[in-house]
Chain A
């Protein structure tokens, strides 16, 4: 993890050309994977499958994009998966009770956001290490969700609401539009706004950031709130796609989301990484799964293949960074 110390404080602009090179290496990793898959099976390089991969990557990206900002500050949010579970269950309850998808969506977003703010307060104000604060939060959220759902599921939502997850516009799935929207917004926010630059600065060198007068606590609460709200967004798309809510829906997503951010070139020590890199990371992970399904890889081998490809992708990225 010593690489992080190379990133000089508060001035990511200087590294722009390096950033470009890293992004090129990362795209190269994704490109190699695509090439291998299109050689291996005819079914891969079809417009249908590409839209399919993008739609599948969207859910992971929503979660991972919020997480990227947290990781940029040198923190971690392990509660995002559990957050999806509770947000989705509450949103589903409200939709069922009121029949209003708008109220339900607001509930989901608000729940995610409130959980995020709690994380932010614990990290910024109580000074609990983020790994532990959000790990504790993960258990608390699971407990509440299991208690609330008691092993049941809530299913069957209005068709209009379901469009968010399963609808198309001009032949392209709605979640893909949402993903592009958040990708652009996230990139502009992180690279082109004062707040975004402050977030990079906090991660790169917290002491210097404090001395230059950046309101660290408020920015930290902001990024955790944002991460929570993105979990809320993911929970809504999840509900709309799957037409069903159950207690453990997000559990399998936390580690892949963190992996997506890290494959995307972010460092757990903060200050390094980008929302676009995370997008590539989410894409690579989704491609691996897609490829294994298309090729019908034996179920026993799938974790092994995923593990090796994750390491390889990151190594390629490291190699590129060192050459840059």
Chain B
């Protein structure tokens, strides 16, 4: 009954816009894992877009985080079901290309979100790049440090694309600041506990650490706990713009977190897929600018995801980088 009400509420808009059978549109949304808060924001964005446009979303998430074989199997299974369209975050941008080609062969329209696939045909790409995110976030920290001092890097999971690009961004930013010394670059595998323990260990061998570049927020927050425990101070930045990081910024513990807005990516990707199904114009590429969230601009991030709203399509067109 409640479903019917939502449909009934959404239907007039859909009908006004297209006259299509809104209830039959099923969008399969693929994300990398169910543990990283970032992908939760993508999913909530996709849900919000679909709800406002009167379509249905089904989520496919590997039961093992970031599992390539499992996402490939899920694609093969989903093709049997023939959803109207797919919104696709590849767990690996190179290894998932055969999966994308299978989707193409099955003639299911697909929008690429977050990580740009190395191959296959897509209606559109909506994402950001981890490299510039790492670069901008690191630049912000290094400027705040006055361009001098000692820093350490906490790396994510070795071999994951996000980590490779973020750490490359960190290192390129470091090259711009000659007076900043990189003391160590150690893996903490995107894990909070490892972030804490690796930081505790690094503090033993380095008496003076002024800045910490963490490749995600969980490690950054872990590192802050390590600093607190040792009564030491350093400026810390993380990446992902999670609620927890925003709270830490408010509490003046975290300097900043780089964000590329998973919510918006989920919204725009899903909107593009649905609009394409209804033969409406879409944009073919939206690359969101990285935002460095800090004490002066955290307010928009400081509210529950579910209460955020997707942008209107004209706003999307305004920030798009390519249109057809």
Contact = CB atoms under 8 A, between A and B. Distances in A.
**A–B touching in complex (CB under 8 Å):** yes
Nearest to A293: B201
B270 interface: no
Interface string B164-194: 0000000000000000000111110101111
B111 to A, nearest CB: 21
B189 A252 contact: yes
A41 B205 contact: yes
Contacts of B201: 49, 52, 56, 289-290, 293-294
Chain B contact residues, majority secondary structure: helix
Interface string B90-130: 00000000000000000000000000000000000000000
Chain B CB within 10 A, most for which of A153, A238, A249: A153
A293 B202 contact: yes
Contacts of B205: 41, 43, 293-294, 296
Nearest to B251: A156
A296 B186 contact: yes
Interface in A83-107: none
A52 B193 CA distance: 14
B210 to A, nearest CB: 17
Contacts of A155: 221, 244, 247
B185 A153 contact: no
Interface string B285-323: 000000000000000000000000000000000000000
A59 B191 CA distance: 15
Contacts of B185: 296, 299
Given A156-B247, A293-B201, A242 B225 contact: yes
B193 A238 contact: yes
Contacts of B218: 153, 246
Contacts of B229: 166
A213 interface: no
Contact of A248 (B65, B225, B242, B244): B65
A52 B204 CA distance: 9
Contacts of A55: 200
Interface in B190-245: 191-194, 196-198, 200-202, 204-205, 218, 221-222, 225, 228-229, 242-244
Interface string A242-275: 1110111100110000000000000000000000
Contacts of A294: 201-202, 204-205
A241 B195 CA distance: 12
B35 A248 contact: yes
A59 B189 CA distance: 18
A211 B300 CA distance: 70
B39 to A, nearest CB: 7
B196 A241 contact: yes
A151 B193 contact: no
B35 A151 contact: yes
Contacts of B34: 146, 150-151, 247
B263 to A, nearest CB: 13
B225 A166 contact: yes
A152 B197 contact: no
A302 interface: yes
A46 interface: yes
A288 B34 CA distance: 31
Contacts of B51: none
A300 B187 CA distance: 9
A56 B197 contact: yes
B40 interface: yes
Contacts of B194: 252
B149 interface: no
B36 interface: yes
B293 to A, nearest CB: 16
Interface string A298-322: 0110100000000000000000000
A48 interface: yes
Contacts of B225: 166, 241-243
Nearest to A155: B244
Interface in A18-68: 41, 43-44, 46, 48-49, 52, 55-56, 59
A56 B243 contact: no
Nearest to B201: A293
A299 B186 contact: yes
Contacts of B37: 151-153, 246
A244 B36 CA distance: 14
A204 B218 CA distance: 44
Nearest to A243: B225
Contacts of B196: 241-242
B40 A242 contact: no
A31 to B, nearest CB: 20
A242 B189 CA distance: 16
Given A46-B204, A152-B37, A289-B197, 19 more contacts: A41-B205, A44-B204, A52-B204, A146-B34, A146-B35, A150-B34, A151-B35, A153-B37, A153-B218, A153-B244, A242-B222, A244-B192, A244-B221, A246-B35, A252-B194, A289-B198, A294-B202, A296-B186, A299-B185
Interface of B: 34-37, 39-40, 43, 65, 155, 158, 183-187, 189, 191-194, 196-198, 200-202, 204-205, 218, 221-222, 225, 228-229, 242-244, 247
12 contacts: A48-B204, A146-B35, A150-B40, A166-B225, A166-B228, A242-B192, A244-B221, A246-B35, A249-B192, A252-B191, A293-B186, A296-B186
Which are the 5 A-B pairs with shortest beta-carbon distances?
Answer: A151-B40, A293-B201, A43-B205, A299-B187, A248-B35
Interface of A: 41, 43-44, 46, 48-49, 52, 55-56, 59, 146, 150-153, 155-156, 166, 238, 241-244, 246-249, 252-253, 289-290, 292-294, 296, 299-300, 302
